[in-house]
Amino acid sequence: MMHSSRLTRRSVIKGGLGLALATTALTTLGLPMPAKAAGKKVIIGAFADGGLTPFKEKIIPLAKEQGFDIQFLEDEYGVTLEKWFADAQSGAGQYDLYLLDDPWVPQFGAANVLEDLGAGGIDGSDKDWISPMIDMGYWPPQQGPRVKGFENAKPTLICVPFVGDLQTLTYRNDVFTGGAPKTWDEVIAKGKEGVAAGKIKYPVVFRGVSGNPIVTSWYPIFLSFGGSFFDDKWNPIFNSTQGKASADFFVGTMKQNAPSGVVEFDSDQEGAAILGGEAGAIIQYSGNALKADDPAQTKVAGKLDFGVVPKQEKAIAQMGIFIAGVPKSAPNKANSIAFLKWYVSAETQAKLSEAGSIPVKRSAFGIAKPGNRLIPVALQQLDAGALPRPRTPDWAKVEELLGIELNKALQAGSGGGAALDTAAKQVKDYLTTAGYY
């Protein structure tokens, strides 16, 4: 007797066709469709950072009132560079606006994947811009050395400053009772007194994780010791006498006065140490500093004050602004440029300052009631000195090489100068291979 459900050729073909149709239908219905221009929709990509909290909470609702439909997509810092670069280069068109970390601008600029915002009607020559901030939006840079292939190119405004973040000092006012410490020696000496008095556990805290975190923590110390990173021909000179002194101080004295696990600390842990009341001082961006007055986020509300970074020779901080670029593949390009024009207007910048974020236009620093005590200190720091990182598309690799060597020295608690020598050789070799010389 034949089995009634015998597999026949016809049933296989019918089943296959049915499966193919069902799969097609499910795929079509289930997959997100590429974003299409619809009204004033703007898809913003950002990395998760406390520095953007005022923008998210106060400015996005204002933008909605202006008719912008903002879609805010956040990712972890460590994956955004590669994700957005792949999006821009492949023309995938998943974003209208990237909120980049400023050292990434050269990489996007050299790859020619961002829109010319000057041609879009944004005025880069407006005197109200904080000049070192708007300078970072140009590729190739208007000042300083240029990489090969871009020596004679006309600087184009491909990004505009979005949040004027830069490093400042956050310190415990019950430990540093005479105000912000002026020198690193004072930070350590008074911090030790604070530890002895039981007010804090560690004089300082910083980020020690290899790569971007440790370089970000070391850089202001390097600058304050009077170091320079590259010469005009892209030769690494960070292993100068000043550079080595800063690295030895960093991996030696600073480590001895920081939590024992600082080698593995990133921004979460350093934030917990200062907001949790354990550390006496920290150099940081605005992300955690903005939480200093919120009792829900700190155990030492009212005890944290801000100041200009301490100096050894100079009191120079590192700039690390959020900077906005519109990919050439943006599905809602016109909307993003219209949004940026509205956002960088003096009126909106004043609202941003009121919301507690560091603005990018000088006029917004002068409003009657800035939303955060950090804002006037940020202006003081800008005037005292703040420098961007070197404007090279290969900064990510340079930072990686240097970060690994610094991290190794930090583990050992010594040998900062030697680490810089090793890193300088590696950077030189890498840049030679990349055709810099």
Partner 1 sequence: MRTGTQARKYRLQGAGLDLALPYLMLAPGLTIVLGILVYPLWDGLRASTRAYRYGSPVADVGLQNYLHLWSDAQFLNALWVTVKFVALSVSFEAVLGFALALFCLHEFRGIRLLRTVLIIPMVITPVVVAIVFRLIYASDAGMLTALCKAMGGGGVQILGNPLNAFIGLVALDVWEWTPLMFLILLAGLQSLPHEPFEAARVDGAGAWRVFADLTFPMMRPVLAVAIVLRTIDAFGTFDQVFVLTRGGPGEATRLISIYGYDTAFKFQQTGYAAALFVTIGLVVLALAFSAIRLLRRIDAS
Strands 41-47 and 69-75: parallel
Cβ–Cβ < 8 Å for 52, 99: yes
Query: Which CB atom, from 82 or from 126, has the smaller least distance to partner 1?
Result: 82
Residue 172's SS3 state is strand
Query: Which CB atom, from 77 or from 342, has the smaller least distance to partner 1?
Result: 77
Q: Give the orientation angle of helix 241-248 with respect to helix 212-224, to 10 degrees.
A: 120
From the list 124-132, 232-240, 253-261, 303-311, the region that binds partner 1 by CB under 8 A is 253-261
Pairwise CA distance, residues 76 & 95, whole Å: 16
Options 70, 158, 200, 263; binder of partner 1; rule CB under 8 A: 263
* Closest distance to partner 1 from the beta carbon of 375 (Å): 30
262, with CB counted inside 10 A (0-12, 13-18, 19+), is buried
> How many residues lie near partner 1 (CB under 8 A)?
41
Stretch 86-105: interaction string toward partner 1, x if CB under 8 A: x--x----------------
Instruction: Name every residue whose Cβ is closer than 8 Å to that of residue 205 and which is 6 or more positions away in sequence.
Output: 258, 259, 262, 265, 269, 270, 273, 274, 278, 279, 282
209 lines the binding site for partner 1 (CB under 8 A): yes
413 lines the binding site for partner 1 (CB under 8 A): no
Helix (H) or strand (E) holding 405: helix 395-412
Count CB-CB contacts under 10 A for residue 307.
20
Options 21, 22, 37, 111; binder of partner 1; rule CB under 8 A: 111
Pairwise CA distance, residues 146 & 139, whole Å: 9
* Closest distance to partner 1 from the beta carbon of 293 (Å): 24
* Closest distance to partner 1 from the beta carbon of 366 (Å): 40
Options 192, 341, 397, 428; binder of partner 1; rule CB under 8 A: 397
From the list 126-134, 215-223, 324-332, 390-398, the region that binds partner 1 by CB under 8 A is 390-398
78 lines the binding site for partner 1 (CB under 8 A): yes
Helix (H) or strand (E) holding 316: none
Strands 202-204 and 304-307: unpaired
Q: Which positions touch partner 1 (CB under 8 A)?
A: 9, 12, 16, 20, 78, 81-82, 85-86, 89, 107, 110-112, 149, 208-211, 259-265, 269, 272-273, 393-394, 396-397, 400, 404, 407-408, 411, 433-435
